[in-house]
Structure 1
């Protein structure tokens, strides 16, 4: 499980390193005033960037369990872990429902 977390953190670092370059290349590619050959060269540069540096490769993971499904963005915890914390009373503003 820790390998998934290491891989995800490595992808996040790569994404942050190449974010600005990727965005500038993408905006220049959309610019129609640039000649076709230059846009072709920019597309080649964009394709040569690492796949792991793309935003699509990132996934929200639970910081405790590493789970990818049903992770709440605000807490960065999966529903299972969050439920445990709520039952303990560790999270303010939540309580067990009763009716």
Structure 2
């Protein structure tokens, strides 16, 4: 099990990223738009820099839903490789069978 504080911190980051996503994407669009004046683009860049760092989507870590393990996590299933193997071996994941060749 991962430290509870690390898992909770990641949950807070995800919540913050979801809250600031519209504002952040609007500012980024303004910055990338070549039709907007350079002054407005610079202002948008300053406003983007003022937003909390943890509101960026990139700072959210993919973690296992069951154990909180940060590495070796399958995005589609939101499970770590260890839990995926355990659940597949016990028949908990539909359609997944142990391979043999």
TM-score, structure 2 as length reference: 0.90
2:8 counterpart residue number: 6
How far 1:97 sits from its partner (Å)? 3.1
1:29 counterpart residue number: 31
How well do the aligned residues superpose, as a CA RMSD in angstroms? 1.2
Q: Which structure 2 residue ranges, 5 or more long, are not aligned?
A: none
1:18 counterpart residue number: 20
In structure 1, how many angstroms separate the alpha carbons of the residues matched to 2:98 and 2:46? 55
How far 1:74 sits from its partner (Å)? 1.8
In structure 1, how many angstroms separate the alpha carbons of the residues matched to 2:13 and 2:41? 27
Query: Which of 46, 49, 56 does residue 48 from structure 2 map onto?
Result: 46
Which shifted more, 35-44 or 48-57?
Answer: 35-44
TM-score, structure 1 as length reference: 0.92
In structure 2, how many angstroms separate the alpha carbons of the residues matched to 1:98 and 1:55? 39
In structure 1, how many angstroms separate the alpha carbons of the residues matched to 2:99 and 2:24? 47
Count of residue pairs the alignment pairs up: 99
Q: Secondary structure, in 3 states, of the residue corresponding to 1:12?
A: helix
Q: Which structure 1 residue ranges, 5 or more long, are not aligned?
A: none
How far 1:96 sits from its partner (Å)? 2.5
In structure 2, how many angstroms separate the alpha carbons of the residues matched to 1:90 and 1:24? 42
